[in-house]
Amino acid sequence: MKWWGSDKDRKNERVYLDWASATPLLPEAKVAMEPFLGSDFGNASSIHKEGQVARETVEGARDRVARALQTRSEYVTFTAGGTEANNLAILGTVNYLHHNERNYSEMEIVTTRIEHPSVSRVVEYLSGLGVLVKYVDVDEEGFVILAHLRELLSESTVLFSVAYANSEIGVVQKLHRLKKVLREAEERFGSKIMFHLDGAQAPLWLNCQMDSAGADLLSLDSGKFCGPKGVGLLVSSKRAKVENVIYGGGQEAGLRPGTENVAGIVGAGTAMADAQANWRERAQIARAVRDEGIKILLKDIPEAILNGPSGEYRLANNINISIPYLDTEYATVWLDSKGFSVSTKSACSGAGGGESVVVKVVSNNSVRASSTLRFTIGPDTSISQLQKLANNLRKFIDKTTNL
């Protein structure tokens, strides 16, 4: 499956291995966006012809997303990114309940300690308002421990939030098992517990159809599935009740005020349709390259430790290793000079040094958490490229350990 040019074009290209941070814009999405960056500049809230063209485009993109995710278009809300979608899901749920005569102190949220900052910092904020935040344990591979989740849920639990696929160690949660625990708790307590999934890393590699995911709220980020940056989506179920968290006009059914980013929205709709139409083939190809890449890295660098699970419950394009006592920030810069774009952890967790919170939680080892490297491959990453990466990383290790 070729995406970004011929083999001849790629010979002297850099090897980009940071797809978890940013993805290239799908060519079809770029084509769809171009008119709305120029001649078709109308405001989708205007009633004249130019405005109606914009409105029809926005609604057409919403329909494409809804079809791709097997839901209804009225349940799709466009935001300015995945962070805003997570904020709207979590704060919006609590705001709705609070404005319907439920005190903050009467509500509980359950999440994990390995979530993206756009989730972890939101629940910390709500904790300051009086909401009780409970953290469910995860095992050494990052899976939610179901027995502990059962213990934590109560009649006051209003929301459970977790990443569909963790952006650092690639663990894909077993959603059907989580959903079963939540529904059993609802029956036990006679309550409703909203199931929120941070699905930012999922659309290129996993099934995101709402029935399959089983979520009440699904947050997505266009920039992670080959759409434009600065566009996100919150997809809701029929039973989810969410209130706006910013104030202004009545756009997006009042949930997300502000003039619509028409170009970005049409690009996101195009990219989402492609992402979900081809995820199986894309994931199958990437998984084979990923597994061979892991074998190569662990063989050539025996001191390396794989973080996260192996097999089908690891995100198809994710490789995350620790090399204890190695300066992996320096390694990232050195690899960059050799033509490899890699990362140490989530870009939103900070570009500087320090521990990976995710790896620290799953390993309980500061040395391992301070020495992580993340390689997230694309649909056309090759095994030979990963072999070259391993060769260069081995040279770096030998060079720095002999100083």
Token representation of residue 202:
């999922």
CATH 3.90.1150.10 domain residues, the chain: 7-17+279-401
What CATH number is given for 27-277 in this structure?
Answer: 3.40.640.10
**CA 78 – CA 325 distance, rounded (Å):** 43
**CA 375 – CA 86 distance, rounded (Å):** 25
CATH 3.40.640.10 domain residues, the chain: 27-277
**CA 282 – CA 305 distance, rounded (Å):** 26
Q: Please state the φ and ψ torsions of residue 162, each to the nearest 5 degrees.
A: -155, 155
**CA 201 – CA 77 distance, rounded (Å):** 18
Residue the block writes with tokens 């995100």: 315
Token representation of residue 398:
């030998």
CATH T-level fold of 7-17+279-401: Aspartate Aminotransferase, domain 1 (3.90.1150)
**Residue 4 confidence (pLDDT):** 47
Give the Å distances, CA to CA, from 277 to 186, 194, 205, 358, 378.
34, 28, 11, 31, 17
**Residue 388 confidence (pLDDT):** 98
**Residue 2 confidence (pLDDT):** 43
Q: Which of the residues are catalytic? A: 348
**CA 242 – CA 95 distance, rounded (Å):** 7
Token representation of residue 195:
């199931």
- Nearest C-alpha neighbor of 258 from the set 71, 80, 75, 26: 80
Residues 6+ apart with CB under 8 A from 20: 167, 168, 201, 224, 317, 318, 343, 346, 374, 376
CA 89 to chain centre: 14
**CA 334 – CA 328 distance, rounded (Å):** 9
Give the Å distances, CA to CA, from 152 to 133, 181, 192, 262.
10, 11, 15, 42
Please name the amino acid found at residue 148. Answer: H
**CA 203 – CA 7 distance, rounded (Å):** 26
Residue the block writes with tokens 């770096």: 396
Residues of the chain falling short of pLDDT 70: 1-12, 345-353, 402-403
